[in-house]
Amino acid sequence: MSSLALFVLLGGVVLLAPWISPHDPAQQYAGEELRSPKLGFWFGTDDLGRDILSRSLYGARLSLTTGLLASILAGSAGTTLGMLAGFLRGRLDDVLGRLFDTILAFPGLLMGLAVAVFLGKGFYNAAIAAAIISLPLIARLARAGVLSEGEKEYALAARAMGAPAGRILVRHLFPNVCPIVLVQMTLTIADAMIIEAGLSFLGLGAQPPQASLGTMLRDSREFLADAAWYALFPGLILTSFLMLISFVSDGLARAFDPRATGGASS
């Protein structure tokens, strides 16, 4: 709960970046290049005299938006395909299984590079790339959940009573598969933020003058010895988000596990 509260607080701050950032992230202040943190420039400035705090807020906003969008896309598509594969089985299950195996055979960042090159540079394409990479994991979890829940008495009783397949999937199986998928969707946000930062670092994500944490980390490499704050603050913000998301995911997994709940209560 503490991690969730901090995540909501930090997420709310970065989502409100256009209203609370002290400076325009693209504004260059002549004579203020590579200034260390001081009053007015709390995180210092970069090599072009831009405020790092403002750019970090906008960059984190972009990364978080990418993560949320990728999580929604991968969660909705992966859950639908996985539940259909587990419920219908047969050739559909075989085809989707081979497709998911193919996607999972490639490292995440390499697959992201391939998708970004195919679709082109930009923020939305980075989110689509992250969603494609995360979709097989969610689909596999949804399929496994349907296979497990579909053999239980309530699902068998619904079939025996002649309930339509759609009703069984939506009313009976989905509520029991949803908690498992929700945990993975939470982790997908973190994975997508890493992929977006990695693609931006390589020049295939957000494009100038749009601020991105990955772009800031890339541009700071030449100044690590003399201006450590240039990379420190964007890196800390990204790391904080990833840690909080990991803690929230662990908490959700324990909350949805009746064995863990029972163990805690006893």
**CA gap 72, 138 in Å, rounded:** 11
Least confident of 45-59, 79-93, 102-116: 102-116
At residue 204, the pLDDT reads: 81
> What's the chain look like in SS3?
CHHHHHHHHHHHHHHCHHHHCCCCCCCCCCCCCCCCCECCECCCECCCCCEHHHHHHHHHHHHHHHHHHHHHHHHHHHHHHHHHHHHHCHHHHHHHHHHHHHHHCCCHHHHHHHHHHHHCCCHHHHHHHHHHHHHHHHHHHHHHHHHHHCCCHHHHHHHHCCCCHHHHHHHHHHHHHHHHHHHHHHHHHHHHHHHHHHHHHCCCCCCCCCCCHHHHHHHCHHHCCCCCHHHHHHHHHHHHHHHHHHHHHHHHHHHHCHHHHHHHHC
Residue 175 has pLDDT above 60, yes or no: yes
In this predicted structure, the answer to whether residue 61 has a pLDDT above a threshold of 80 is: yes
**How much is the pLDDT for 112?**
78
Residue 226 φ then ψ, to 5°: -105, -20
- What is the pLDDT averaged over residues 90-109? 86
Q: State the residue range of the domain holding 169.
A: 58-261
Phi and psi at 38, nearest 5°, equal -160, 180
The residue that leads in pLDDT, 115 or 197, is: 197
Q: Is 21 a member of any domain?
A: no
Residue 33 falls in which region: left (phi positive, over 0), alpha (psi -120 to 50) or beta: beta
- Residue with more model confidence, 163 or 194: 194
pLDDT of residue 161: 83
- Among 97-106, 132-141, 159-168, 221-230, which stretch is predicted with the lowest mean pLDDT? 159-168
At residue 217, the pLDDT reads 93
**How would residue 258 be classed by pLDDT, with cut points 50, 70 and 90?**
low
Kindly tell me if the per-residue pLDDT of 89 is higher than 90: no
* Average pLDDT of span 63-70: 92
Residue with more model confidence, 257 or 41: 41
The answer as to whether 63 is a domain residue is: yes
Average pLDDT, the chain: 87
**173: in domain:** yes
| Number of domains the chain is built from | 1
| pLDDT value of position 265 | 39
Per-residue pLDDT at 260 exceeds 80: no
pLDDT score of 253 more than 60: yes
- HSE of 182, CA atoms in CB hemisphere, 13 A: 15
Distances (CA, A) of 174 to 80, 162, 257: 10, 18, 16
* Distance in angstroms (rounded) separating the CA atoms of residues 234 and 218: 11
Residues 6+ apart with CB under 8 A from 157: none
The answer to the question of residue 179 being in a domain is yes
Rounded mean pLDDT, 210-239:
92
Please indicate, yes or no, if residue 42 is contained in any of the structural domains.
Answer: no
Kindly state whether residue 32 falls inside one of the protein's structural domains: no
239 found inside a domain = yes
Instruction: Residue 74: give its domain's CATH number.
Output: 1.10.3720.10
pLDDT of residue 63: 92
Confidence tier at 225 by pLDDT (50, 70, 90): confident
Confidence of residue 266 (pLDDT cuts 50, 70, 90): very low
Asked if the structure places residue 15 within a domain, the reply is no
How confident is the model at residue 259, as a pLDDT? 63
